[in-house]
Structures are given as C-alpha cells and as structure tokens.
Amino acid sequence: VHMAAWIVFFGVMTLAGRPMDAETIATVLQVARSNVSNSLRELINWKLVRVSHLVGERRDHFETSRDVWELFR
C-alpha cells in the first residue's frame, strides 16, 4: 500500500472525529478490506492511529488523536 493511501486513511479517520471500524473505513473509501487492514497496521506502527474499544461492540475501532501536536511527540 502506498504512502498516499495511508494519508487518505488517516485523513478520513481524522475528519470523522470518532472511532471507526475497519469495515466502515473500507466502505467509505470503497477499497478492499485487506487494504484497510494493511494501512491500519502501518499507521498503528507509526503511532498515528490507535485501537479503541467501544462498549457493546465486538469489533476493534480505530482512532487518531484529536490533538495534532500529540502526533509529533
């Protein structure tokens, strides 16, 4: 997956302002679920995205920091 794709994934998650599951991200971007998984893994490794667990939900959700400066720490 290319850097441009990671930027798009990150942008969608940032603009959503709420945790999103991988299936929702795939639907919004109209891309394969496998591409979403690979991109999320890379963004998590870079500490740009973190896993978030919502009460009553079985799926993992993913979110970015709402504080832009936190991303540079």
| pLDDT 10s digits, 16-53 | 888 999 999 999 889 899 988 998 898 899 888 899 99
List beta partners, residue 9. Answer: none
Q: pTM for the full model? A: 0.77
Is 60:21 a contact under the CB 8 Å cutoff?
yes
Mean pLDDT value of segment 52-60: 91
- Residue bearing tokens 């999320």: 40
Lowest mean pLDDT among 20-24, 35-39, 54-58, 66-70: 66-70
What would the DSSP string read from start to end of 12-72?
A: HHHHH-S-EEHHHHHHHHT--HHHHHHHHHHHHHTTS-EEE--TT--S-EEE--S-GGGGG
